[in-house]
Structure 1
Amino acid sequence: MKALWKGFFSYTMIGVANTLIHWQIFFVLTTAAHLRQAASNLAAFCVAASFSFYANALYTFDTGLSVRQYLLFVGFMGVLSFGVGLFADWWQIHGLLTVASFSLLSLFCGFFFSRFVVFREGEA
């Protein structure tokens, strides 16, 4: 069981920084640029994900970087972020609830997807 959660603490700490980046960009895009939540959440995610992908590759999973891994991570999690934003647009959910729910969802989905698919041991 311990091996399952290996690296979760550093992933979480990098996730805190990622969340700050994501939330700031999301709120600038929704309030100042008047973009819909789906587009804002996706754009904010892409910027924040670039930071966290690099940091997690170096510090959490101790692997090399590849374009394939980056595109796999951003593709999967990008679809998730757009879906959450689309759901929020459809149901007219407040932006704070949108980014909070996506942040929590992406913490767990992103960790396990990264650990077992993107940065699985033996691949660099």
Structure 2
Amino acid sequence: MLKKQIVSYSLVGVLNTLVHACVFFVAIKVLGVQSISNVIAFLCAVTFSFFMNARFTFKKNSTYMRIVWYMILMGALNFMIGYISDLSELPALFTLVISFVVGPVLGFIFSKYLVFKG
């Protein structure tokens, strides 16, 4: 069961990555700020992946408060990555790569044991 969930979560993650990247690059063009652009992209991508993972990966519904806490925790992580990139004047691609490496690992753990537990 866990292996199947990891495979499904990974496939949703690929689509999630595409949503995140597209929204991020549009937002950075409009806003010019990585931190806010990364949070906006994250919120769009997490909404997409939440519904996909609920249906296909974990086959469970979640409570409103669990998804809110998940979004707060992961949103704060994405904001901090963008904020550090802004302060360090790192390229936007760095922000995305770090978000795409750290986010899925913590996201699976939060999803399995917090958002869709039980």
State the TM-score, normalized to the length of structure 2: 0.93
Aligned twin of 1:8: 6
Q: Note the 1:90-109 alignment, pairs <5 A.
A: 90-109=87-106
Say if 1:37 and 1:88, in contact at 8 Å, map to a contact too.
yes
Aligned twin of 2:115: 118
Aligned match for 2:19, one of 7, 10, 21 = 21
Say if 1:22 and 1:44, in contact at 8 Å, map to a contact too.
yes
Deviates more, 1:35-44 or 1:60-69: 60-69
3-state DSSP class of the match of 1:64? coil
Q: Note the 1:27-106 alignment, pairs <5 A.
A: 27-31=25-29, 33-106=30-103
Q: Give the letter for the 2:51 counterpart.
A: Y
Q: Give the letter for the 1:90 counterpart.
A: L
Q: Give the letter for the 2:43 counterpart.
A: C
Q: Give the letter for the 1:59 counterpart.
A: F
Q: Structure 1 unaligned runs (5+)? A: none
- Determine the C-alpha separation between the residues in 2 that align with 1:88 and 1:37: 7
Count of aligned positions:
118
- Determine the C-alpha separation between the residues in 2 that align with 1:92 and 1:48: 24
Q: Structure 2 unaligned runs (5+)? A: none
Greater helix fraction, Structure 1 or Structure 2: 2
Q: Give the letter for the 1:7 counterpart.
A: Q
- Determine the C-alpha separation between the residues in 2 that align with 1:35 and 1:29: 7
Runs (4 or more) in structure 1 with deviation over 2 Å come to none
Q: Give the letter for the 2:9 counterpart.
A: Y
Cα root mean square deviation, aligned: 1.4
Q: Among the aligned pairs, what percent are the same residue?
A: 33
